[in-house]
Chains A and B, each alone.
Chain A
Amino acid sequence: MTVTKHIEMRGVSKAYRFFTLQDISLDLEPGQVMGFVGPNGAGKSTTIRLAMGLIAPDIGEIRVLGCRMPENQAFAKRDVGYVSADMRLMPNATVGWHMNFAASIYPGWDADYAATLVKRFNLRPEQGARSLSQGEHIKAALLLALARRPRLLILDEPTTGLDPVARHEMLTEFMDVLRDENRSILFSSHNTVDVERISDRITFLDRGRMVASSDKEGFLDRWRRIDVQLPQGAALPELPHIVGRASDGHFHTLTTDQFSELQLARLGNAVRNVHRMNLEEIFVANVMHHRESRP
């Protein structure tokens, strides 16, 4: 039996006057958390809005939960929870009104879970949306999305503007969601710590292009920084898969995206240290390498 992918994008492009999203292809399988990482203006929000059917691609095909977007968005969105950092609730209504509104629309609304989230996020149902802070807006929007128990959560920078405690609460909730193997999350952020914590698949985006997409462990296993100290007069040997290098006299720092024993063997005794890289370092090195290699 073929399992329906939760998100499928094939060759998606979208052009604006000052920005173009180019040739995005990605898959999100049930049970996966995809972290979407990119600097400001990379195209994360555009890609997410395309996935939500809020804008249409110029070329390419998008399917969400098997539904073609944006044509069948009304059907697809029955099982999609969407929250973005700049989303606001309706100003002349209370949080409680929004909860009742969502409960009347979504048959899967879990009132007990909603009540738990109200307490956990320290929200007050009687509070008007107009008086909510930015963080409270995000928490309330997340509550409304999570308590529906959707199959797919699409979250655009959901931790932006949240204090560390609220961020921790939120990430814990996301991890809870993933106990159910049929649910998935597409999660964009420029905070690589959050992405590293919850994602099992990571896509890097820069200047409207996908620069890399892989499972998290793959990135962490393949990328290394190698410190090298060469003897007087010796030249650095040619090594495959070196994507960055910094030199200071005899000292060199090499960045590789395909770390192997072969590289170490070629460098021999010159190797002083081999560092594992965290996601932020991998992201920056990846983006810089792609920017340099692009015409």
Chain B
Amino acid sequence: MSVVTRKLIAKELYVNRWFIGGGSVTAAASVALAAAGGGAFNIGALTWLTTVIAFGVMLGIYGVVNERKEQSLQFVLSLPISIADYVRAKLFGLLLAFLIMWVAATASAVLVVLLAAKVPDGLLPYVLLLCFFMLANFCVVLCGALHARSEALVTGTIIVTNMGVSVFMFTVGLFPSLREHMFGATPVWNTTFFNVLIVELIVLVIAVVLPLVTVSRRRDFL
């Protein structure tokens, strides 16, 4: 990886610093609210979910779409980099920006599940699957934003991935082997958990590798 690519990755962290900080604090605060249980749990969980989804969407829109729309892409491409360097820098820079917030959101959710008396520990596998789903979901948004040349296509990807969160929650949450342990006192790490996790990781890897293989080879980038 060239020096310029590394600097562009650092640039993504710098220009998105307020998003990263704001997103991490909001996610942590919302799970802290959820720890109170009852109605606060629902509000906290919903805020946490919204924060992680919105953060991913904002990164995709501001990091890729707006850069193209507002013509700062021209400035970036005037640097001594190839199209492949740009795609690498954008992909890893935004992924790193998301990961910082995602780690904060996931860690605080895990801590609340394990430490809060009103939240059952059995929820942990489901929470982790949801966290990895959101990570994979962001990678799909990023992959779509890097591929799409039109804003409409990016918007379409965002809508589909957002709908995917609800579909995931209701589908996976209804798997009997996950559902029956969800409100138990101890987390159960069964085959269903690992199967779902593997599928999520496969989607994540494909979404990350695809732009490196396809978009990097584009000969027309503007």
Q: How many residues of A contact B (CB 8 A)?
A: 33
B71 lies within 8 A of A86 (CB): yes
For B71, the chain A residues whose CB sits under 8 A away are 86-88
Q: A70-B219, A77-B78 are in contact. Are A92 and B85 (CB under 8 A)?
A: no
In the complex, what residue of chain B is closest to A71 when comparing beta carbons?
B82
Which listed residue, B74, B79, B220, touches A105 by the CB 8 Å rule?
Answer: B79
Would you call B194 an interface residue if the criterion is a C-beta within 8 Å of the partner chain's C-beta atoms?
Answer: no
- By DSSP majority rule, is chain A's interface helix, strand, loop, or mixed? mixed
Q: Give the complex CA separation of A73 and B15 in angstroms.
A: 25
- Assess the B222–A54 pair: CB atoms within 8 A: yes
Which residue from B14, B70, B82, B220 sits with its C-beta under 8 Å from A91?
A: B70
CB-CB nearest in chain A for B70: A88
Q: Is B170 an interface residue (CB 8 A)?
A: no
Spot the interface stretch: B3-11, B173-181, B196-204. Answer: B3-11
B16 is an interface residue with CB less than 8 A from chain A? yes
A residues less than 8 Å from B17 (CB atoms)? 92
Query: How many B residues face the partner with a CB closer than 8 A?
Result: 30
Instruction: Quote the shortest CB–CB distance from B205 to chain A (angstroms).
Output: 27
Q: Chain B at the A interface: mostly helix, strand, loop or mixed?
A: helix
Closest to A76 in B: B80
Please give the distance in Å from A104's CB to the nearest CB on chain B. 6
Max chain A CB contacts within 10 Å: which of B15, B75, B79, B82? Answer: B75
Please tell me if the beta carbons of B78 and A90 are within 8 angstroms of each other in the complex: no
Q: Does B77 contact A (CB under 8 A)?
A: yes
Given contacts A73-B82, A86-B71, A88-B70, contact A54 B77 (CB under 8 A): yes
B18 touches A55 (CB 8 A): no
Q: Given contacts A55-B221, A101-B11, A104-B7, is CB(A74)–CB(B85) below 8 Å?
A: yes
B4 touches A105 (CB 8 A): yes
A175 adjacent to chain B (CB < 8 Å)? no
